[in-house]
Amino acid sequence: MSIDDLLTRPWFYRFELPDGRVTPSYIDASVEPVHSTRVAMMDRALREHFGTAMPASAIDIACHQAWFSTQLTARGVDRVIGLEPRDEHVRDARAITAAMGLSDRIRIEQIDVHAATAERFGRHPLVLCFGLIYHLENPIGALRVARALTAPGGMCLVETQVVPGMRGFVDWGNHRFVRPLKGSFGIIDETEETHGPEASTMGICLAPDTEALIWIMQRIGFSDVTLIEPPADGYEQHVHGKRVMVKGLVR
């Protein structure tokens, strides 16, 4: 596919092409700052963990059209593996990375997150999991995959929509056995939207609250699990804590 062909249709992201032209985007202008805000938060986490020496490789889980993969190579990551389940996103990601001359640095693999293994894809010093887990009916399983793909000494960044939390205690089988709630999930119905390019592939979505996400990441083996601060002028969802980015390290 030629660069001219890429410019004849809108994309989810605005890709800057080698000749300086930029792909048009089909998302509303008021939503576009979600991309730049996530990049700013990612950059903060990269600086804090890696300093000026970027990691040699990374995994981009649910890479969509591979925009964040291209952002990583622009920052000095040598090789990125993008994992993506949807046919159309795989085609788009491969076409755009080829047009940008990045096919030798960004490899796109079609696979559902729950089927990905370290045996197949290796373990990497950087793992991205952006905009995924709140579209899943098994978000904890996806986080376990992200943990398995993160190499010792590495960092995983999880970005997600979050829901309001519930606090308190629950009788656990009997009024004498009381357990504290560590967090909560909200059930979101996307069963009529599975055809949509940015929706769930299954339709039943479990979105965590912030405390649940942090607690789960700690329990499945991440250390130093912390929130990444959004820029003050960032996307309103991040600024007001309705979307979050969480960093988890692997010792």
Cβ burial, residue 25 (10 Å; 0-12/13-18/19+): middle
Residue 109 near residue 136 (C-beta atoms within 8 A): no
Mark out the alpha helices in the chain (DSSP H runs). 3-6, 33-50, 67-74, 87-99, 118-121, 139-149, 210-219, 236-239
The percentage of residues in the chain with a pLDDT greater than 70, rounded to a whole number, is: 100
| pLDDT tops 90 at residue 5 | no
According to DSSP, residue 155 is labeled E
State phi, psi for 42 to the nearest 5 degrees: -60, -45
Query: Secondary structure of the chain: what % helix, strand, coil (to 5)?
Result: 30, 30, 40
CA distance 219 to 158: 15
The tally of CA atoms less than 13 A away on the side-chain side of residue 232 is: 0
pTM for the predicted model, two decimal places: 0.95
pLDDT tens, residue by residue, 148-199: 999 999 999 999 999 999 999 999 999 999 999 999 999 999 999 988 888 8
Q: Please, what are the domains in the chain?
A: 3-249 (3.40.50.150)
pLDDT tens, residue by residue, 103-125: 999 999 999 999 999 999 999 99
